Amino acid sequence: MATMIRKGLLLLVAMAPGLLTGSAPTRSGDLAQGQRIARYRFAPLGQIAVYRPEGEPRGVVLLLSDRDGWTPSMDQLGEALARRDLLVAGVSTPALQRAMTQAKRLCANPDYPLIDLSRDLQHAAGVARYRKPLLMGVGTGATLAYAGLAQWPNGGFQGAVSINPVGTLNSRKPWCAAPGFSALRSEGPGHETAWKFGVDRRLAVPWVVIGQEPATVGSFTLLRFVSAVPHASLIRLSDNGMSESGAAHLRSRAAATVLALLPPPPPHGAAGDVAIPDMPLTLVPASQIMRADRMAILYSGDGGWVGIDRDLTSQIAAAGIPVVGVDSLSYFWSVRSPQGAGRDLAQLIRAFGRRWNKRKVMLIGYSFGADALPYMIAALDQRTRAQIDSVSLLGLGPSAQFQFHMMSWLDFDSSDALPTLPAIARLKGLTIRCIRGELEKDSACPSIPPWLAEHYVVPGGHHFGRNTPLLAHIVLGQRRPGRISR
């Protein structure tokens, strides 16, 4: 390990193994507070340039270079973002493209290594709470950022910023299929296989393009392409960024754009005389007026507030029931205890029960959230417990954890894991629904006695074929227990 001082900033060159190799994950001390610029290796992406702010970051940016890799201009952009209180991981786009080509998967998808990098980085940097990363790319990296966003339109990214995207990307592999995503094969320079991306009309997160006209993406002009993509916008530049003043203006606009895309702070303060705990919350109000005296609280899986959690919440809200969503990845990023998490849950029930004038609460957990939820309920006082309308456990596993460990994503239990069944046994007297996919092999649902919980078996595996309308019907008590096909 070597260190040196540059312009008053500490530069650290460190070796750090990554999750994708299956080796031990990076330790939190590798990028300690105060180290403003760092380099570390993350397989299979090679050397990662890390830029961090003075204190706790406001957001996380995965910055993808142009086709010439990591250059001094990319260094300047990374430092500019860090000065705006952002934690930045700089990725060489050629290295990322090589990693996709060499991966065992038969198709190309940048999301797997990028999400692994985000988790590894935030763990290594010791951030207090996991944050969804925002993608930013320049040139070839800009188009790659769009492709990553389009392949996971309701997934693990906060959004994307593309600076001067190019029209095509080279790839020896076809691109992985995804709903709404399309890639048309064409011939690039030197007879290389190139791909033109289509408009993804299912994009559910922001995509901002900073560029100039005339330019093309796929088969369309930049303006026409961006106009056709939901939640997309175009910022036109009069300067191409080649001059010193133009480059400085570009960096300033890019940083300001990222800040505008960050999520608002979670709700805090008080509802009546009950304080709202400091938690990563998403509030989804009922989309129609109902007289039902119920609200819902949903704890997500270990992927954070993405896909199935967001979609199920929308279905419940559409039925007239407001929902408090808890991002489990962020909440359990720091160590919790069953008693402390139970106190937070009790505060949520009291605070939002008063805010929304609801006396009953439906408690829902998916995967990691389902595993931990019974312990939290068991820690509630009797008065709060009496407000529970039902408990729905989706994708329940045999053990619960109260802090994310890097090995959790490799399906290894930590030494402090707790068995779920004893906690569920303490919930006798509550309406409990245990929901599993027919293809799940490690579900704990079959181990729960039928007198203690209602059992539901639905098509699919751990993600239930993403059939959230069916899941919503079950959670709302609109289906009888048993095997359900639709």
**Rg (the chain; Cα; Å):** 23
Q: Based on the fold, state whether residues 206 and 298 are members of the same structural domain.
A: no
Report, as an integer, the average pLDDT of 255-266: 90
pLDDT of residue 23: 34
Domain final residue pick, 261, 290, 312: 261
Residues 254 and 277 in one domain: no
Q: What is the structure's pLDDT at 404?
A: 72
194 and 299 fall within a common domain: no
The whole-angstrom separation of Cα 170 and Cα 139 is: 13
Q: Please work out, in degrees rounded to the nearest 5, the angle formed at the alpha carbon of residue 252 by the alpha carbons of 224 and 163.
A: 30
Same domain, 195 and 304: no
Q: Looking at the structure, tell me whether residues 17 and 121 fall in a common domain.
A: yes
26 in the same domain as 88: yes
59 in the same domain as 14:
yes
* pLDDT for the residue 153: 67
Residue range 104-109: mean pLDDT, rounded = 92
d(CA 456, CA 15): 47
Burial code (b: 16+ CB inside 10 Å, e: under 16) for 137-153 equals bbbbbbbbbbbbbbbbb
349 and 205 within one domain: no
Q: For 27-36, 217-226, 421-430, which range has the lowest pLDDT when averaged over its residues? A: 27-36
pLDDT interval class at 268 (50, 70, 90): low
pLDDT at 19: 32
pLDDT above 90 (res 351) = yes
How many domains does one find in the chain? 2
Give residue 287's pLDDT. 83
For residue 409, the model assigns a pLDDT of 45
Q: Which residues contact 83 (CB under 8 A, 6 or more apart)?
A: 53, 255
Asked whether residue 39 carries a pLDDT value surpassing 90, the answer given is: no
| Lowest mean pLDDT, pick from 82-96, 239-253, 462-476 | 239-253
Q: How confident is the model at residue 425 (pLDDT cuts 50, 70, 90)?
A: very high
Using the 3D structure, point to which of 261, 294, 317 is the last residue of a domain.
261
Query: If you average pLDDT over residues 246-262, what whole number do you get?
Result: 92
Q: Say whether 128 sits in a helix, a strand or coil.
A: coil
pLDDT at 123 over 80: yes
User: Is 90 found in the same domain as 69?
Assistant: yes
What's the rounded mean pLDDT across residues 103-125? Answer: 92
> What would the pLDDT profile of 190-222 be if each residue is shown by its tens digit?
677 899 999 999 898 999 999 865 565 655 688
Domain match, 215 and 335 both: no
Give me the pLDDT at residue 439, please: 95
Let me know whether 329 and 242 are in one domain: no
- Residue 263 pLDDT: 86
* Last residue within a domain, chosen from 261, 289, 316: 261
Q: Tell me the whole-structure pTM to 2 decimals.
A: 0.82
CA angle 201, 461, 337 (to 5 degrees): 95
Q: What is the pLDDT of residue 13?
A: 30
What share of the chain has pLDDT > 90, as a percent? 66
DSSP helix, strand, coil percent of the chain (3-state; round to 5): 35, 25, 40
Query: Mean pLDDT score of the chain, rounded to an integer?
Result: 85
Q: Are residues 231 and 298 in the same domain?
A: no
CB 183 within 8 A of CB 164: no
The CATH number of whichever domain residue 103 belongs to comes to: 3.40.50.1820
Confidence of residue 453 (pLDDT cuts 50, 70, 90): very high
pLDDT of res. 273: 61
**Domain of 231, in residue numbers:** 2-261
* Of 242 and 343, the one with more pLDDT: 343
The lowest-confidence range among 23-32, 38-47, 469-478 is 23-32
Among 188-197, 326-335, 364-373, the range of highest mean pLDDT: 364-373
